[in-house]
Amino acid sequence: MLDKLVLRFVGTIDFNYVIISGYIAILFGRSRNTEDVDIFIDHISSHKFLEFYKKLEKQDFYILDAEDAEDAYDRLKEGLSVRFAEKNTTEPNFELKFPKRDTDFYSIEHRIRVIISNKHEVMISPIELQIAYKLYLGSEKDELDARHLYGLFKNNINKKLLKDFMSNLKVKENYSKEVLGERID
């Protein structure tokens, strides 16, 4: 059900976006709940955002934390997030943000296409960045997400890039060994 909802939501997006954080682990088989799907979107014009907002309304999504499209766009420009959910629900919701930090922009610029079916795909952040970010967050849920992703992709990821992201985010090397089961060199 969550995947169908995500596909319906991202199907309304006609500009660059990237899904980040916990949903990526769920997408790749980690069994856990989530209350939100985090998404970075390109800095778009207010006109483009209004068009997007109207598409979401037609798909039965509504905004949780703003009065209208203009207010939502102002929140994004102020560096805040905006949440959308399916009508008559509050969870799961979609938390949209404009990128602010270098790693945020990296996520959009180096996003990865995941093909779900002949008709559906999603764009996700690089796995190396997701593992490092989850280690940086450090909660039990985040550690399990990092371990899950690392276990799946350890033979296919760029470990130097992972180490660079961990360094950038100030993740202690010994911590990664403790969580991932091996030191990242």
CATH code: domain of residue 87: 3.30.460
Q: Which residues pair with 161 in a beta bridge?
A: none
Chain segment 88-115, per-residue pLDDT in tens:
999 999 999 999 999 999 999 999 999 9
pLDDT greater than 80 at residue 77: yes
The pLDDT score that the predictor gives to residue 176 is 81
Mean pLDDT of 55-62: 96
* Judgement on whether residues 110 and 158 belong to the same structural domain of the protein: no
pLDDT greater than 80 at residue 42: yes
* Judgement on whether residues 89 and 138 belong to the same structural domain of the protein: no
* Judgement on whether residues 139 and 176 belong to the same structural domain of the protein: yes
* Judgement on whether residues 19 and 33 belong to the same structural domain of the protein: yes
Chain segment 20-39, per-residue pLDDT in tens:
999 999 999 999 999 999 99
Choose one of 76, 92, 124: the last residue of a domain: 124
* Judgement on whether residues 90 and 12 belong to the same structural domain of the protein: yes
* Judgement on whether residues 95 and 134 belong to the same structural domain of the protein: no
The pLDDT score that the predictor gives to residue 137 is 95
Choose one of 76, 91, 124: the last residue of a domain: 124
* Judgement on whether residues 61 and 110 belong to the same structural domain of the protein: yes
Choose one of 107, 124, 141: the last residue of a domain: 124
* Judgement on whether residues 97 and 135 belong to the same structural domain of the protein: no
Q: How confident is the model at residue 182 (pLDDT cuts 50, 70, 90)?
A: confident
How does the average pLDDT of the chain come out, rounded? 95
Q: Which long-range contacts (CB under 8 A, 24 or more apart) does 58-67 make?
A: 59/8, 59/9, 59/11, 59/12, 60/86, 60/87, 61/9, 61/12, 61/85, 61/86, 61/87, 61/94, 62/87, 64/90, 64/93
The pLDDT score that the predictor gives to residue 184 is 82
* Judgement on whether residues 95 and 154 belong to the same structural domain of the protein: no
Q: How many domains is the chain built from?
A: 2
Mean pLDDT of 113-138: 95
Residue 185 lies in a domain: no
Mean pLDDT of 40-45: 97
Q: What is the pTM of this model?
A: 0.94
In 3D, which of 32, 1, 17 has the Cα closest to residue 145? 32
* Judgement on whether residues 113 and 131 belong to the same structural domain of the protein: no
Range of the domain at 166: 127-180
* Judgement on whether residues 138 and 50 belong to the same structural domain of the protein: no
For residue 40, give every residue at least 6 positions away whose Cβ sits within 8 Å of its Cβ, in sequence order, or none: 17, 18, 20, 96, 97, 98, 99, 104, 107, 108
pLDDT greater than 90 at residue 121: yes
The pLDDT score that the predictor gives to residue 173 is 74
